[in-house]
Structure formats: C-alpha cells, structure tokens
C-alpha cells in the first residue's frame, strides 16, 4: 500500500449552508485548478454515505437507528470489500438480502482503495486500526493526534496487523496572513460559525494553523513530528489567494526534509 508520508491534499467546498447550494461546474473547475497547483488529492465532506457519523438528527431523518450505526458500518465495510475483490457477492445480511450482486469496474488499487476511518472514541480507533487501513483526523492538535495514534498502533498490533503499515491523514484549517494576530479573529469567527466539533472529542478550532507562511510551516512541522503522514488543508473560506499561498509557500517547505 502506498505511503502517505509528506503528501498534501485539499478540502473541497462542496458542503454549503442553506440557502446556498454547491455549484457543480465550479467544483469541477476547482478540482482542475487544485491539480494544476500540485495538490495530490481532493477531499469532500459528507455526513450520510462516507462514515458512521455522530449527528443523531441525520440518522433520524433517514430512518437509520443511531445506536446501531457502528454495527452497520462494520458490516457495510465487509460487504464493500467483497464487492471490490469478488466476482459476485451474495448472501443474507442483517439489513440486506443480496441474491447476486456485482460491482464493476474493480478498483485500480489492489486489493481495494485504502480505507481511512475517522473518529474519536476507542472503539472507532480500533475499527480504523483493524477493519480499516488507518485513521482520518478532523482538526486535531499535534498532542491529541499523538495520543490517539499511539492507541491505534496498539490496537493494530493486538489485532495481528503491522502498525507500521497503517496510514493516516489530518484535516487542518489554515489561514496565512501578515501575522497570527492579524488573522486570528477572522479565523475563529469562521470556525465557530461554519464548523461543528463533537463535544466528546479532542477536535477543536484551536488546531487552526495561523500566521505568516514561516509560522504556519513551523506549526505544521509539529504535526509531522508526531507521525502525521498526510495533511489535508482546509483554507480559510476556500479563498484562492490562500490556496495559492499554501501551494507555493507552504508545501515546498514541508516536502524538504
């Protein structure tokens, strides 16, 4: 499985607040621009199809039992892996009856694409270590990352997996400016207004990377120092000036070991 060490992706502004709606054409153009700037991957936001989730109101809206979401996720992961690797999938599952299912084309990655699982509590960290291929974090400070990553490596070892083969990626908000003081107020307002944080997690707006390019690089190096492999930038309000600064002033310095 390919290493994610010192690779850099960027978040996509596909998640908008009502009444604003995502502009599909603009998102495609955004993706093309990100590729030209040298980002290796795009990361979209989703609350229903890409993970266990933690918003009870969303599960109520789609008729899925909130308390069973972990069990459903585990079974769905097994089914998905089978679809990716087997010619035909059939069987009776707790929520599905699949007489003869197929999925084509098969993934380019073998046996299937890396599965990074996000979450905070120990049972989810264990799922990331054992059922998945690693962990996806959301707005963690370096010290919080290090603590949970150590747990994940331990769970992997207990489960008979090589912890050194685990992957991880950290989503981090960033605002580059003349100084930290110049941008901190606006950044905190944006994070408080447009982003949510699970109260029981160590995910926090205090993870924000802010200041001059040099200051931001030093803050990001602290994440790399505790084992963060891939950084996924969440630029302030997705401003193109911010994105271009990340591509030209931040990433080259982080790639230089």
| Adjacent-strand bridge partners of 136 | 118, 169
120 contacts 203 by C-beta, under 8 angstroms: yes
Q: Is the pTM of this model over 0.85?
A: yes
The predicted-structure confidence for 105-116, as pLDDT tens digits, reads as follows 999 999 999 999
- Which ranges constitute the DSSP H helices of the chain? 24-37, 56-62, 69-85, 122-130, 142-158, 180-194, 213-225, 240-245, 251-255
The answer on pLDDT for 11 being more than 80 is yes
Token pair of 72, please?
A: 């459903």
**What's the mean pLDDT in 192-200?**
87
Locate 245 and state its tokens. 């600064």
Q: Tell me: the pLDDT tens digits for 46-95?
A: 877 686 777 788 888 888 888 888 788 889 899 999 999 999 999 999 88
Look at 11-25, 55-69, 120-134, 233-247 and tell me which has the smallest mean pLDDT: 55-69
Domains of the chain in sequence order = 7-53+114-255 (3.20.20.30)
């Amino acid at each position: 499985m390919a290493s994610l060490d010192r690779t850099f992706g960027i978040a996509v502004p596909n998640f908008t607040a009502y009444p604003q709606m995502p502009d599909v054409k603009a998102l495609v153009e955004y993706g093309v621009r990100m590729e030209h700037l040298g980002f290796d991957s795009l990361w979209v936001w989703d609350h229903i199809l890409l993970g266990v989730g933690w918003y009870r109101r969303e599960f109520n809206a789609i008729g899925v039992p909130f308390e069973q979401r972990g069990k459903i996720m585990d079974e769905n992961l097994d089914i998905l892996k089978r679809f990716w690797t087997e010619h035909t999938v059939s069987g009776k599952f707790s929520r599905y009856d699949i007489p003869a299912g197929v999925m084509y084309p098969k993934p380019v990655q073998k046996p299937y694409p890396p599965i990074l699982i996000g979450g905070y509590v120990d049972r989810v960290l264990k799922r990331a270590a054992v059922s998945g291929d690693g962990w996806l974090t959301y707005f963690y400070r370096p010290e919080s990352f290090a603590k949970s990553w150590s747990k994940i490596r331990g769970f992997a070892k207990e489960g008979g997996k090589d912890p050194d083969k685990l992957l991880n990626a950290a989503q981090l908000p960033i605002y580059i400016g003349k100084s930290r003081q110049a941008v901190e107020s606006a950044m905190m307002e944006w994070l408080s207004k447009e982003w949510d944080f699970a109260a029981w997690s160590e995910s926090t707006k205090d993870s924000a990377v802010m200041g001059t390019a040099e200051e931001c690089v030093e803050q990001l190096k602290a994440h790399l120092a505790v084992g963060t492999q891939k950084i996924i930038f969440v630029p302030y309000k997705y401003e193109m000036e911010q994105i271009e600064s990340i591509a030209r002033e931040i990433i080259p310095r982080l790639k230089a070991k």
